[in-house]
Amino acid sequence: MGRILLGIVTLSAVSPAATKRCIEDRYHEAGLLLDAGRYAEALIVYKEALKEDGVLDGKKRSRIFNNIGYCHYKLDDLDAAIDYYRQALEIDTDYAVCLNNMAVVLMNQKRYKDALPYLERADLIQKNVKILFNLFSAHYYLDNRKEALAYIKDAFRLDEDYTEDRLKKKNISREDIDRLKKYIRD
């Protein structure tokens, strides 16, 4: 009986602040794993942090769902990524990074039309070269040339180096990039 009582006293001695620090440590650890490209390990740690339901505020919870979605995306589990991005967006509908991430997954599934509302909403919330480039890509693949040109022009204006790099990654030749830059400047 003494052991049971001791266990109860020990458990009640853990303060909510200590529990929150523990979750913050897990969140930080998972972020380091994510940055290192260790997505499967990061998933485990993020999911452990989610178990502490009462301690996490909404924004932090939304960020964890987004990061879990990103891990699934990097592990090529696109359906799971979409599920976690949806959960993040249920908590924080104005989370531009997550809106963009959702659109990227949908575009990877060649669902460009489905991706557009997420990208358009993200663009309203935050002007960002990644979002602009993704809007360009979605419109390009949907054969909306006028809209695609407007977004690539904005992307070049915001960050020319990033935009050129992304175009190169899509195997666009140097000559075509230079022609595009000349066309949108004229």
Q: Are 72 and 78 within 8 A, CB to CB?
A: yes
Q: pLDDT tens digits, residue range 129-164?
A: 999 999 999 999 999 999 999 999 999 999 999 999
Give 26's Cβ-side CA count (13 Å radius).
23
**Per-residue model confidence as pLDDT tens digits over 55-91:** 567 788 999 999 999 999 999 999 999 999 999 999 9
111: helix, strand or coil: coil
Structure-derived torsion over alpha carbons of residues 145, 147, 152, 158, reported in degrees to the nearest 10: 170
Give the pTM: 0.84
